[in-house]
Chains A and B, each alone.
Chain A
Amino acid sequence: MPNSRRIRYFRRFFSPLGILSILSAGAVTGVLIVAGLGLPVRAANPASEEPAGHTVQSHAPPGMEGIQVPPPAFEPGLFPCSACHADMPVDTTPRKLKDMHTEIVLKHGPGMWCLDCHSAKNRDKLHLVDGTLIDFSKLYLLCGQCHGDKLRDWKAGVHGKRTGYWNGQKQYLLCVNCHNPHSPHFKPIKPKPAPVPPRDIQLSQGRTP
């Protein structure tokens, strides 16, 4: 993130307009949050950036011990980003990508672009607004900067899905296991068939004795 940009950001955040500005900054960062370079994420592809044998439990945020969080699922061949980006010069000008990652549709509010979330310093990491680098497996910290209410509910097990045991080991999903970070709104899905109305139920089709 260039300095001028960062300064602009923090000015907005701490402007004398007080709470109103913080709210608007929230909206702006909401926009900033999970856009980025490559890495289309798919829940169905549990390929992990972690080495094999790694226990997923370590992803659990503090206060959520005993809860397993799976690693983010990347499309095969995309991670680590540094495999391609290590030797490439970094262009920090916000722009539309033309050569690579064109399949990514960025619909995460206006004015956002890749390096608002993806780090230019370490291509295999994300960064928070204060510049802290974080792993992809901790991306809820990034999303939670704007969507704090969702992060709070997610930690309590109310936002998102919990599976496992209601009185024991639980499993959470990361934000990106359900939401495409580049276009986070849920897409409509096909419903399962409607129930058969009682008038159409044929008793004779039941199992014979």
Chain B
Amino acid sequence: MSKKFLSRNGAPGEDSTRPEGGSAVPEQDDAESASRRKFIGTTVLAAGAAMLAGPGSLAIEEFLQRNFHELSKQDLKEIIARLEKQYSTEYGKKVRVGDEPAMPGVLFGYGLDLSRCVGCRRCVYACVAENNQSRDPQIQWIRVLQMDKDKGVDLAHATCYYDPKEVPEEGHFYMPVQCHQCRNPPCVRVCPVKATWQEPDGITVIDYNWCIGCRYCMAACPYGARHFNWGLPHLPSDEMNPETHYLGNRPRPKGVVEKCTFCIQRTRKGRYPACVEICPTGSRKFGNLLDPNSEIRYIMEHKRVFIFKEQLNTQPKFYYFYGV
């Protein structure tokens, strides 16, 4: 789009098929017409230039960058080099932006033990530290819901703003909600620009450089798992995690949507997600659904498992279970 836009503006006189100003009157005064053409051309050029060099100080390469799926290996290499340089300057440390592809024969699945979760929110903050979310305005990818034991899993009687001295509170249980990595993700279907998609290992990712910030995906997601950068994300340099992934935890610009990626920068290297490693009660389980010996398969075969909002046919790869 942008290229077409630019080329037309670059040579406005060549567009001979279109009558100027939308007028049906034949051109009588060539000089007047030419000056008007010139005027429009200059104005649009200036506006274009202002757009390129303007407020977000968007690099021209960034402005012209194509959809992730249209990038060649060389393109991606150059983009990553540019981003690494940009982030390293901005945060004053060596930042690595990875592009590890999905491992073959891997489909990630997640298990969460509702009988053990105590609602301490350690996972929420481990996630924020790992994934470079904005500290202010605050963005958190995990939301821990406190529910009544009497009511069961009932969103009408749930809150995420509980703040007692100690958890777990009598008569309550806790249900953390984050991206469910659906097999049938409504968020992907509604994206008008294909800035979000499901990777072969089942992780739904976003290309922050392609996202236009329309937030259709946020409206479509039944789990509230997508979050929008309403303001410029504030991420202190000393808290910035320099080990990043292009489709995951690299710093985001203002005006894009972000979400849990099962810590793509960790899990694609074989490591557990940060929330799994921090959980003090061992409620969080992670593994390869295609590996019959994985923990997640053991859970699915031996425990009482349920999925959240099953009736919506989103087919999540995030399973709640009762370990006790």
Tell me, yes or no, whether A135 is within 8 Å of chain B by CB.
Answer: no
Contact in complex: B233, A207 (CB < 8 Å):
yes
Contact in complex: B161, A197 (CB < 8 Å):
yes
Tell me, yes or no, whether A19 is within 8 Å of chain B by CB.
Answer: no
Q: Main SS of chain B's interface residues? A: loop
Q: How many Å from the CB of A200 to the closest CB on chain B?
A: 9
Contact in complex: B280, A189 (CB < 8 Å):
yes
- For B113, the closest partner residue in chain A by CB is A158
Tell me, yes or no, whether B64 is within 8 Å of chain A by CB.
Answer: no
- For A155, the closest partner residue in chain B by CB is B298
- 8 Å CB contacts to A: which residues of B112-150? 113, 118-122, 124-125, 134, 136-138, 140, 143
Contact in complex: A156, B121 (CB < 8 Å):
no
Contact in complex: A167, B270 (CB < 8 Å):
yes
Which 9 residue pairs are nearest across A and B when measured between Cβ atoms?
A: A206-B231, A161-B282, A188-B166, A192-B121, A203-B231, A157-B295, A206-B232, A207-B234, A165-B270
Tell me, yes or no, whether A209 is within 8 Å of chain B by CB.
Answer: yes
- 8 Å CB contacts to A: which residues of B272-303? 272, 276-277, 279-282, 285-288, 291, 294-295, 298-299, 302-303
- For A170, the closest partner residue in chain B by CB is B272
Residues of B within 8 A of A209 (CB): 55-57, 232
Tell me, yes or no, whether A52 is within 8 Å of chain B by CB.
Answer: no
In the complex, 16 of the A-B residue pairs with CB atoms within 8 angstroms, ordered by the A residue number, are A158-B113, A159-B282, A161-B276, A161-B282, A165-B271, A166-B272, A188-B118, A188-B166, A189-B166, A190-B120, A191-B120, A191-B121, A195-B138, A195-B143, A201-B230, A206-B234
Contact in complex: B323, A202 (CB < 8 Å):
no
Contact in complex: A165, B272 (CB < 8 Å):
yes
Residues of B within 8 A of A45 (CB): none
B118, B122, B291, B303: the one contacting A158 at CB < 8 Å is: B303
| Cα-based distance from A172 to B223 in the complex (angstroms) | 31
Residues of A within 8 A of B272 (CB): 162-166
Residues of B within 8 A of A163 (CB): 272, 276-277
Contact in complex: A194, B160 (CB < 8 Å):
yes
- 8 Å CB contacts to B: which residues of A149-205? 153, 156-168, 178, 186, 188-197, 201-205
Residues of A within 8 A of B282 (CB): 159-162, 178
